[in-house]
Structure 1
Amino acid sequence: MKKIVTIVGARPQFIKAAVLSRIIVEKNEFEEIVVHTGQHFDQNMSEIFFNEMDLPIPKYNLDIHESMHGAMTGKMLEKIEKVLVLENPDAVVVYGDTNSTLAGALAANKMHIQVAHIEAGLRSFNMEMPEEVNRIITDRISNQLFCPTKQALENLKSEGFDHFGIDIVLSGDIMKDAVSYYNQKAEANSTILEQFDLDSDKFVLATIHRQENTDDPIKLKNILKGLDDISEEIKVVMPLHPRTKKRIAEFELSTKVLLIDPVGYFDMLKLLAHCKMVVTDSGGLQKESFFNKKHCIIARDETEWKELVDNGFAKIVGTDAGKMLDAYDHFLKAKSNFEMNLYGDNVGETIYFHLKNKLGLN
């Protein structure tokens, strides 16, 4: 039987991989081996996702975390290579733009193993972001590129990828499938609203985790000021990323925001379904907000999901507290057509079909 190795390491990758893994199990036409690099190691950011979402338990957990980018990527590369020698797969599948993504693609490429990159072609055009470097290199050394949006496809064309002998597929965004599949389960199983006495449509959901925001005391202070200003009008709830928690304490910052521990996927979906709107520096949460028909305030200077801004579903405010409050006031009155189909349909099935063909299983 043909075999693929799937490399995951961070929360969004667990969610995306769950969609494809479920299809692979149902079809039973090739084998999947899951490798967890350990990049997200907190129980609420890793283990709980495998339990909630019925993900295949990783055959390998590399337990690599808490390192500088170079050291982390290097350790991952070394250990993933050993796994690939043992498993000898026909293809390696990577997701997104993390160090785990880059290390998995590099290890496979150097061993002449086919690489499929899901969520290819995204660009922030900010080379100071580690994720931007990761995604550009991963795209260039992959054999199959699955683009979530037309803009991602155009980005690859403008960079000359049409001439590289690579399969480029406009697949749509696999995260859409995940939200569609798990929303009802989240509604039935999550008790997060009761736990924190939250009323539907009476709170804003915030997440801040990007290193360029958390590690800069001025930026982090400004973001918290913006959230505090919003909290004068409505409750703000922020599941706290471990790095953000550490920096708030280190910089001796304070906030009026309700800070809670990191939450599992079902709890996050429940919060998204019932919040008023979202403030985030996450890429994935921008789309999850859209899928849950919520406006999104982006605490960054750019976004990979330009179509959300162009169509009025999101606003970029950077770390400007005044702009953050203005965006909140704007979205209170905004009327948006969340029925627009920006991210495709049956995305997991599309990706599965092309993967299967690449493996010679037509």
Structure 2
Amino acid sequence: MEEYRLILVAGARPNFMKIAPLMHVLRNHQKIKPYLVHTGQHYDEKMSDLFFRQLDIPEPDINLEVGSASHAVQTALIMERFEKVCLNVKPHMVMVVGDVNSTAACTLVAAKLHIPTAHYEAGLRSRDRSMPEEINRLVTDAISDYFFTTSVDADENLINEGIPQKKIYMMGNLMIDSLYEHLKKAESLNHAIQTLDGKKTVQLDKTLPDGGYGIMTFHRPSNVDEPETLAKLVNGWGTISKDVPLLFPIHPRTVKNLKKFGLYDILASYDSIYLTEPVGYLEFIYFIRHSAFALTDSGGIQEETTALNIPCLTIRPSTERPVTIWEGSNKLITVDDIEKEVRLILKGKGKTGKTPKFWDGQTARRIVDILEDIFYV
């Protein structure tokens, strides 16, 4: 019986929430053998074991251990090391997810080795080429062979770029598979986390009121790399924290820049802003589910809040996930809009929406069905 070798590539933490449901469906598959490759593009040693355990996936079969570097150096290292993996494993297909440097780099390697490639989350477009993720999306989709999309607009983008309809499969959202699968488990945990200064323990109903706080994530260069923009954000966060507590699992990049620009002590001085280290996946979805709103510049949280119908305020000029605005609970705003929009939410006038088509927790099964057809399994 022929075995079909499928390499699944993950380069950053959010990629694993997309890979995990596929790993679960492919577990003990009779003909398709998955190889999980972690490029090590983003790696947090402290969180790694916890993350794989919470998602119930095995440690990666191969870790390229690339680490942080400039875009050019990181991409080159990934390509050099991934080429050796492909030559050794001889996969029948390479599947990449998302839009990080690993996504584009591994697709380039596979394409030049004439290995069929599939891109999950294909077709997403922000139209903002100042974002490195947008460049990665465009490059990956230009040379992939199969395209798995999460929404109708992604299909339309690909068709407009010349991709044949027969290569495009709108199967739903793997992030939502992970979300639905783990919500019950998340509820059962003891969610007590320490603030960065070690002086407070954050716990729902004790420190934070259920449904009465905001959760924040910020790491985009456009928001945290410019001192004037970051100062405006700190001021906005501080002002709204007087009306509603804010939980802020803070990205290392953001901490670094807050300290660099002399803003960290100002932010830490607000009594109702709870700064913590990044938390595990289960803790994070638990705190989203019980929040009044999310304030963010992240991509994934726009989807998670849409699935949970939690108002989401995204501080960006554009989003590659417009379905979360058309159908979901997401809203694009500017830094200057924060106070007004949060007060609308606190008055019960926050944006609500519906769950997009196929965001039902069964996406991985549908994708594997397509892979079986492609492999003639």
Q: CA deviation at 1:329?
A: 1.8
Rounded Cα–Cα distance in structure 1 between residues aligned with 2:125 and 2:248: 27
Instruction: Name the residue aligned to 1:218.
Output: 228
Equivalent residues in 2 for 1:292-303 (5 A)? Answer: 292-303=308-319
Given that 1:7 and 1:37 are in contact with CA atoms closer than 8 Å, whether structure 2 keeps it comes out as: yes
Of 202, 206, 209, the residue aligned with 2:219 is 209
- Secondary structure class of the residue paired with 2:119: strand
Question: Do 2:38 and 2:63's aligned partners in 1 also have CA atoms closer than 8 Å?
Answer: yes
CA distance in 1: counterparts of 2:357 and 2:294, whole angstroms? 19
Q: Deviations over 1:294-329 (max 9, x none)?
A: 1000011111121222346122113x2x30111112
CA distance in 2, matches of 1:109, 1:308: 32
**1:108-132 Cα shifts (integer Å, max 9, x gaps):** 1111111110000000000110000
> With structure 2 as the length reference, what TM-score do the two structures score?
0.90
Whole-Å separation in 1 of the counterparts to 2:240 and 2:186: 27
Count, aligned residues = 357
Unaligned runs of 5+ in 2: 195-200
Quickly say closer, same or farther: Cα 1:299–1:57, change in 2 above 3 A.
same
User: In structure 2, how many angstroms separate the alpha carbons of the residues matched to 1:218 and 1:58?
Assistant: 41
Q: Could you give the per-residue CA deviations for residues 138-184 of structure 1, whole angstroms, max 9, x where no partner exists?
A: 01111110010001111111222128xx7111111111111110100
One-letter amino acid matched to 1:264? G
Q: Distance in 1 between matches of 2:303 and 2:320?
A: 10
Superposed, 1:223-242 pairs within 5 Å as: 223-242=233-252
Q: Aligned to 1:27, what secondary structure does the other structure show? A: coil
CA distance in 1, matches of 2:49, 2:104: 22
C-alpha separation in 2, matches of 1:216 and 1:150 = 35
How far off its partner does 1:343 sit? 4.5
* 2:198 matched residue in structure 1: none
Contact 1:44 1:264 in 2 (8 A): no
| Residue 198 of structure 1 pairs with residue 200 of structure 2 | no
Distance 1:225 1:297 in 2: 16
2:349 to 334, 355, 359: 334
Tell me the secondary structure at the aligned position of residue 238 of structure 1.
Answer: strand
Cα offset, 1:190, TM superposition: 4.3
**342, 348, 351: which is aligned to 2:367?**
351
* Segment drifting more, 208-217 vs 180-189: 208-217
Give the match for residue 130 of structure 1: 132
| 1:242 CA drift (Å) | 1.1
Shift of 1:202: 2.0
The answer to whether structure 1 residue 101 and structure 2 residue 113 are counterparts is: no
Provide the secondary structure at the position in 2 that maps to 1:67: coil
Whether the 8 Å contact between 2:306 and 2:354 is mirrored in structure 1 is: no
Q: What's the secondary structure of 2:219's corresponding residue?
A: coil
**In 1, Cα distance between the equivalents of 2:30 and 2:239?**
52
Contact 1:5 1:32 in 2 (8 A): yes
Aligned mates of 1:39, 1:46 — CA distance in 2: 13
CA offsets, 1:242-299, max 9 Å, x none?
1111111111113122210011100101111111100010011111111222100001
What is the TM-score normalised by the length of structure 1?
0.94
Alpha-carbon distance between aligned partners in 2 of 1:141 and 1:313, rounded to the nearest angstrom:
33
User: Residues 250 and 335 from structure 1, CA distance in 2 versus in 1: closer, same or farther, beyond 3 angstroms?
Assistant: closer
Mapped partners of 1:103, 1:79: distance in 2: 10
Of 119-128 and 212-221, deviating more is 212-221
Structure 1 residue 341: Cα displacement? 3.4
Q: Which of 348-357 and 37-46 deviates more?
A: 37-46
Deviations 1:49-105 (A, max 9, x none): 112111121111111122011111110111011111111110011100001111111
Q: Which amino acid aligns with 1:258?
A: Y
Give 1:191's aligned amino acid. H
Aligned-partner SS, 1:189: coil
Identity of aligned residues (%): 33
Q: Which amino acid aligns with 2:339?
A: L
Paired letter, 2:323:
E
Asked whether 1:148 is paired with 2:158, we answer no
- Contact 1:278–1:296 (Cα < 8 Å) also in 2: yes
Conservation of the 8 A alpha-carbon contact between 2:10 and 2:102: yes
1:324 aligns with 2:338: yes
Shifted more, 24-33 versus 122-131: the winner is 24-33
Q: Contact 1:192–1:271 (CA<8 Å) still a contact in 2?
A: no
The 10-residue stretch of structure 1 (289-298 or 130-139) with the greater mean CA deviation from structure 2: 289-298
Matching residue within 78, 81, 86 for 2:80: 78
Is 2:184 the counterpart of 1:184?
Answer: yes
Structure 1 segment 26-175 matched on structure 2, within 5 A: 26-43=28-45, 46-162=48-164, 167-175=167-175
Given that 1:206 and 1:238 are in contact with CA atoms closer than 8 Å, whether structure 2 keeps it comes out as: yes
CA RMSD of aligned residues (A): 1.8
Q: 1:41: Cα distance to partner?
A: 1.2
- Contact 2:10–2:97 under 8 Å retained in 1: yes
Contact persistence 1:192–1:267 (CA under 8 A) = no
SS of equivalent to 1:285: helix
AA partner of residue 215 (structure 1): D
